[in-house]
Amino acid sequence: MDPSFLEAAKFISNEYRDLNGTGIEILDHPPSAIEFSRVIHISRPTIIKGFRFPALDLWTDEYLTKKMKENPISIATTPNGLADSICRASDGRLYFVEPFIEKMTMQQLLFKLGSKTTSPKPEIYYLQSQNGNLFSSSSFDSESNEATDNNSEFFPLLSDVPKEVPWCSEALGQHPDAVNLWIGNEQSITSIHSDPYENIYTVVRGEKHFVLLPPSDSWCLKERYYPHATYTRTSSSEALEILPSTEDIPQVRWSSILDPDSPNAFPSEITPIRVTLKAGESLYLPVGWWHYVRQSGLTIALNWWYDAEMRGMSWTLLNFLRNSTTIHDGNYNDNTD
């Protein structure tokens, strides 16, 4: 990558901020499809109130436990709440570490998330399987709106969740690629990253705290290549340890900004947008926007991912902006550009 691209990216970053500010628009009601198409065209995060569906009223601990019975569900488990994040292993090297996946029942998960006791083996649990754990694109293969052919671990809950966001599907002219359920608490953190998706995120219970940066600020995210690893344990009684993956697993490109809330995380001219999303509120998180996410207390959320439009200028620009800085090996260029 041409190092001079950095200056161009900084110019675009400043111009974008000057023209667009750092505010966030709030819609008091869900938009019509045509109104939402204009929001997508602007591609700014937007809070949308009033997108209602049964889960918002039904999903108490009791209801979820009763519905899910003894069904095993896959829970990301880490010693520190950092699933899919950069961590230093005992060998002194930094890795992109995926969580250990533990199977448990919904009742067990809710108990662990609500429990305030410090166990002798403290571990953090986060339902964040994000593989279309409720619905995926194949859920739309049949004409039926009923989720009869779904392999979801959360099958008993599917009737409480819309398969798609009507005004978003119509605006984009497509069904979602994946619909996910997220359940965690204040101990889990989603490290800062961006997705190649248009995203609708709805909080069912609790609160989500987002730190957001536009794609034009990609140059200060310090993306690096990190070797891949996974939390694992040798036996069920052992603590989780970082197990480096074999050499054939490709390195992972990830931001080196571990805490966007720290005072010196970004250059002084960069102003992240901070949004707290409460129960019943939805966030339109446009393709390419960087986001860091925390929760307050037990928090249940849903998201609908839609494939981004690759035709036109946006995709080209997103690629340029992400590639505007030289991407080093994270273990040899920790603190330099």
Binding site for a second copy (CB under 8 A): 2, 4-5, 7-9, 11-12, 15-16, 19-20, 33-35, 37-38, 40-44, 170-173, 214-216, 309-317, 319-320, 324
Q: Which is nearer to a second copy, 32 or 138 (CB)?
A: 32
Q: How far is the CB of 198 from a second copy (least distance, A)?
A: 11
Q: Which is nearer to a second copy, 196 or 297 (CB)?
A: 196
Q: How far is the CB of 268 from a second copy (least distance, A)?
A: 20
Q: How far is the CB of 60 from a second copy (least distance, A)?
A: 38
Closest C-alpha to 269, from 8, 11, 5, 1 = 11
Query: Which two structure tokens, joined as six digits, stand for 3?
Result: 């190092």
Q: Which is nearer to a second copy, 41 or 66 (CB)?
A: 41
Q: How far is the CB of 266 from a second copy (least distance, A)?
A: 19
Q: Which is nearer to a second copy, 45 or 227 (CB)?
A: 45
Helix axes 5-20, 313-322, angle to 10 degrees: 120
H-only helix segments in the chain: 5-20, 33-42, 55-58, 61-68, 106-114, 166-172, 313-322
Q: Which is nearer to a second copy, 162 or 288 (CB)?
A: 288
User: CA–CA separation, 218 vs 183, rounded Å?
Assistant: 28
Q: Indicate the burial class of 261 (C-beta count within 10 angstroms; 0-12, 13-18, 19 or more).
A: exposed
DSSP at 162:
-
What single letter denotes the amino acid at residue 334? D
Q: How far is the CB of 49 from a second copy (least distance, A)?
A: 20
